[in-house]
Amino acid sequence: MRENRKNPQRLKDILTAIDNIYNYVGNDEMEAFVNDKMRYHAVVYNIMIIGEAANMLTAEFQQSHPDTPWRQITGMRNFLIHGYHQVESDIVWKVIEEDLRILRPQIEKYLEETE
């Protein structure tokens, strides 16, 4: 059973993973980033961490924060792990450029609420 007291730590894990991703990508464009396989795989790993941490949040927490697409986040983690051979770099780039820019401020706000 997931514990409410662990929600803040999971949120911190998500925030750390997002920051890691932006540090790894830097100011590079997609092509330069994708061509650097080590950085690319480090980013994919951190996206998986985001999904796993989101999955470990309590159901009550997720339900009380419906603005965040928790199922999509955990679904992306599952896709990266189980469908690794089908992952296209443009999907990863979209996560970086669009989805995380929305997710980060949400997670910061949720973290403030829990502390």
Which residues form the catalytic set? 77, 82
DSSP string, 16-65: HHHHHHHHHHTT--HHHHHH-HHHHHHHHHHHHHHHHHHHHS-HHHHHT-
Structure token digits, residue 107: 């997670």
